[in-house]
Structure 1
Amino acid sequence: MNLAELKVPGPTRTALTAPFWAAAAEGRFTLQHCADCARWVFYPRQLCPHCWSPRLQWRDASGRAQLETWSVIHRPGHPGWAPAAPYAIGIVRLAEGPTMLSHILAAEPRLHLPLQVRFTQVGAEVLPCFEPLT
């Protein structure tokens, strides 16, 4: 299934998340980084969840991760995803530390599988998905 052909809703964009989605559209993987405690942050926030600093800056990240858990979706919650089923989604632990939920582009997902980001056209959007590290 060509994911670009799907008729699915895109991510919700806000002023806070706009830099993440703009970078993804350019093929860059960015995360917030705290200027005070030097820790990485995901999902986008106004304050660092580690030290409460408001000094969060967008920085390019490695795009490397490891698969922590996953599920194969056979019956999607939105009808637009039905042509892509079955597909895998999972929690990935980014090399920088935070976790995120993403599509897993692997034929056989497995625990701690090394991954890398792959920007993928899904419907009208470019999303950061993850595939096995090559």
Structure 2
Amino acid sequence: MSPALQSVVDDAATHPYWQAAAQGKLLIKRCKECSQVHFYPRALCPHCLGDTEWVESRGVGRVYSASTVQQADGNYVIAYVELDEGVTMLTNLIDAGDGVAIGARVRLSMQPAANELAIPMFSLDKGA
């Protein structure tokens, strides 16, 4: 596994998210009123302003868009991943190489952060 990434901010609003991530689970928010899911986590539903609750994502989806960033110390891939639950999140693809196909299936791969939490990233789903 690669060295720990930068620390994340674990505040009252996002504490359940980061604690679940440290256990290898990805949480998203669902509205208690209209049942729509959304990401990034926020207290009020962006669709109807209703109260929200945390729900666990299956952690699988597809690449919506991707870009390889070239740096002196190595390349990395950033991507928008559309989860099967219907939300889209900006993330990193690990072990993706240079050619990532739009629509490729991906699976959650939590990466350790410096403060003993974890950051959700994705890897190509070789079994898809």
* TM-score bracket for this pair, using the shorter chain length: 0.7 to 0.9
Give a deviation string over 1:30-76, Cα, whole Å, max 9, x none. 111111111111101111001110x211111111111111111213x
Relative to structure 1, is the Cα distance of residues 123 and 87 closer, same or farther in structure 2, using a 3 angstrom cutoff? farther
Residues paired across the two proteins, number:
123
Q: Partners of 2:54 and 2:103 in 1: how far apart?
A: 27
Gap runs ≥5 in structure 1: 76-81
TM-score, scaled relative to structure 1 = 0.82
Is 1:128 aligned to residue 120 of structure 2?
yes
Give the Cα separation in 2 of the matches to 1:102 and 1:72: 12
For 1:87, give the aligned amino acid.
Answer: Y
- Give 1:36's aligned residue: 33
Q: Say what the alpha-carbon RMSD is for the aligned residues.
A: 1.8
Q: 2:63 aligns with which of 47, 64, 67?
A: 67
Q: How does 1:70-81 map to 2 (within 5 A)?
A: 70-75=66-71
Taking structure 2 as the reference length, the TM-score comes to: 0.85
The 4+ residue runs of structure 1 with deviation greater than 3 A are 122-125
Seq. identity, %? 28
Residue range with higher mean Cα deviation, 118-127 or 95-104: 118-127
The equivalent of 1:51 in structure 2 is 48
Are 1:93 and 2:82 an aligned pair?
yes
